[in-house]
Amino acid sequence: MAAAGIQLHPACRVRQEGFGLLFYDSRGPRLLFAETGELLPVDFFDQPRSRQELPAGLTAPQQNRLQTFITKLLERGFLREQPVC
C-alpha cells in the first residue's frame, strides 16, 4: 500500500505575499490568508509530500505551528491527500 501524501488541490493556487502565503480556491471562490512569514516557500505543495516533511531548520514550535496549519489546509480543502509513489 502506498503512503499518503499531501499536495495543493488542483483548483487552488497559492502566492507569496508580505505576510506569508495567500491561498485561493476557485471552487468557492475562497481566500485564506496565512501568516507564515518565510517559513514555507510558495512552491512547497507543488509535489506530493508526507505530512511530516517540513522545510529544514525549523524550531520545534515552528514545526508544530506548520503541522497545525497543514491540518487546517486539509480540512478546508486547499490541500488533498493522495498516494505517494
Model pLDDT for residues 40-60, shown as the tens digit of each residue = 888 888 888 888 889 889 999
The reported pTM is 0.83
Cell of 21: 502565503
Contact 56, 40 (CB under 8 A): no
Q: How far apart are CA 16 and CA 36, in angstroms?
A: 10
Q: Name the one residue in this structure whose C-alpha cell is 501524501.
A: 5
Model pLDDT for residues 60-82, shown as the tens digit of each residue = 999 999 999 999 999 999 999 88
CATH code, domain with 20: 3.90.930
Four-residue CA torsion sign, 13, 49, 82, 78: negative
Distances (CA, A) of 78 to 18, 45, 57, 58, 59: 20, 10, 25, 23, 25
CA dihedral 77, 24, 61, 80 (to 10 degrees): 30
* Domain containing residue 55: 4-83
Q: How many domains does the chain have?
A: 1
